[in-house]
C-alpha cells in the first residue's frame, strides 16, 4: 500500500518546489504562470512588463550588460527612469545569494503602473542578465560593492543612452530600496535630472547597516553624502510606516541633510518594505516633487 496517498507531493516547476495532489497539479499546469506562489523571476518580469508595453532590451554599458524594459512613445516629452532595488542579494544575514535577480521586481512593478509616455526600467548589474554575458559579475557587486563607483557609472551610462532617445528632455528618476541610493548618486552626476522619487529608499547605507548590525560597505558610495549636491532638485522620499528594513527615519535624515528646501519625506500608512507599493503607486505618483518657496529671496 502507498502510505502517502492523498498527501501533497513535491513537484519542481521552473526551479521552484510546489506541493499538490494530482488534481491540483493539473490545475497548476492549466494555469500556466499561476499555481506556484513563487514564479520564475524572468517570467514574472515579463508578466509585469508586457501589459504595460515595456519592451525588454540588453544594454551594453562598458563593464556591465544591463537588462532594461522601456516604452518610448513620445520622444518630445520627459523621460522617467525606474531603478530596481538590491534584489535577492542575501539568503540570510551571513550568506549571500548566488544570483541577485529579484523574485518579484518591485521597481518594475512600479514602472508598469506608470502611464507616462516615456518609461524606462533599469535592473541592477547582474540581475536578470545571464552570467555568461556579464563576466565581471560576482558576489561583491550585490553585497559590499553594490553602490561602487563603477556600478554608478554603468547605471548612469544606461540613463544617458535612453536620454538620447528623448533628446533635450528632462530626466525624472525613481528608485526602489537600494535603487533609491542609485537614483541619488546618478542625479549628483547629471544636469538634466528634474525630479527624484524614492520608494523605501536606502538613502543612508551606513545608518541602515548599523541598525541591522551588519558590516559597513567601504567600497560603496553612501547616498546621504551626496544630499547637498542634489539639494536643489525637487524630490520626494516615500517610506512605509511598517518598514523595518529601511524605516522612515532614514528618509527623514536624508531630507535634513539635503536642507529641506526641495526634499520631502512622506510616510505611507500600512506599507512595509516589499509588498503593496505598486498598488498605491498610481496615487502616490500624482504627488509632484516641488521646491518650497523661500521668503525674502
Tell me if residue 197 falls in helix, strand or coil: strand
Would 293 be classed as within a structural domain? no
Would the pLDDT of 26 be above 70? no
Would you state the torsion angle of the CA atoms of residues 42, 48, 52, 54, taken in this order, to the nearest 10 degrees?
-20
**Co-location of 183 and 106 in the same domain:** yes
The band of 39, judged by pLDDT with boundaries at 50, 70 and 90, is low
Would 145 be classed as within a structural domain? yes
Cβ atoms of 167 and 95 closer than 8 Å = no
Domain that includes residue 245, residue range:
40-284
User: Both ends of the chain: CA-CA distance in Å?
Assistant: 87
pTM here is: 0.86
Cell of 15: 526551479
Closest alpha carbon to 246 in 274, 222, 225, 224: 274
pLDDT in tens, 197-222: 999 999 999 999 999 999 899 999 99
**Co-location of 140 and 265 in the same domain:** yes
Q: Please count the structural domains in the chain.
A: 2
pLDDT in tens, 131-176: 888 999 999 999 999 999 999 999 999 999 999 999 999 999 999 9
Q: Which residues lie closer than 8 Å to 177 by C-beta, 6 or more apart?
A: 85, 86, 106, 107, 199, 200, 201, 202, 245, 246, 273
Cell of 251: 528618509
Would 256 be classed as within a structural domain? yes
- In angstroms, what is the C-alpha Rg of the chain? 20
**Co-location of 14 and 127 in the same domain:** no
Amino acid at each position: 500500500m502507498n502510505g502517502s496517498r492523498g498527501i501533497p507531493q513535491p513537484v519542481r516547476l521552473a526551479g521552484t518546489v510546489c506541493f499538490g495532489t494530482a488534481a491540483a497539479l493539473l490545475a497548476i499546469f492549466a494555469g500556466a504562470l499561476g499555481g506556484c506562489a513563487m514564479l520564475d523571476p524572468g517570467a514574472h518580469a515579463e508578466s509585469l512588463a508586457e501589459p504595460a508595453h515595456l519592451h525588454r532590451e540588453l544594454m551594453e554599458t562598458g563593464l556591465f550588460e544591463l537588462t532594461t524594459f522601456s516604452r518610448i512613445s513620445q520622444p518630445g516629452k520627459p523621460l522617467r527612469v525606474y531603478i530596481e532595488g538590491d534584489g535577492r542579494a542575501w539568503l540570510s544575514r551571513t550568506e549571500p545569494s548566488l544570483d541577485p535577480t529579484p523574485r518579484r521586481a518591485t521597481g518594475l512593478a512600479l514602472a508598469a503602473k506608470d502611464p507616462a509616455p516615456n518609461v524606462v526600467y533599469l535592473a541592477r548589474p547582474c540581475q536578470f542578465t545571464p552570467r555568461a554575458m556579464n563576466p565581471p559579475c560576482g558576489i561583491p557587486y550585490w553585497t559590499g560593492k553594490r553602490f561602487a563607483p563603477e556600478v554608478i557609472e554603468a547605471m548612469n551610462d544606461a540613463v544617458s543612452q535612453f536620454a538620447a532617445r528623448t533628446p533635450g528632455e528632462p530626466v525624472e528618476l525613481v528608485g526602489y530600496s537600494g535603487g533609491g541610493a542609485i537614483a541619488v548618486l546618478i542625479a549628483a552626476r547629471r544636469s538634466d535630472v528634474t525630479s527624484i522619487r524614492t520608494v523605501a529608499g536606502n538613502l543612508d547605507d551606513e545608518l541602515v547597516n548599523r541598525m541591522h548590525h551588519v558590516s559597513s560597505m567601504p567600497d560603496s558610495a553612501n547616498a546621504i553624502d551626496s544630499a547637498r549636491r542634489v539639494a536643489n532638485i525637487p524630490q520626494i522620499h516615500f517610506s512605509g510606516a511598517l518598514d523595518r528594513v529601511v524605516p522612515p527615519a532614514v528618509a527623514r535624515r536624508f531630507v535634513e541633510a539635503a536642507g529641506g528646501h526641495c526634499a520631502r519625506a512622506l510616510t505611507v500608512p500600512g506599507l512595509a518594505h516589499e509588498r503593496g507599493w505598486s498598488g498605491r503607486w498610481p496615487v502616490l505618483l500624482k504627488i509632484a516633487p516641488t521646491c518650497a518657496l523661500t521668503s525674502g529671496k
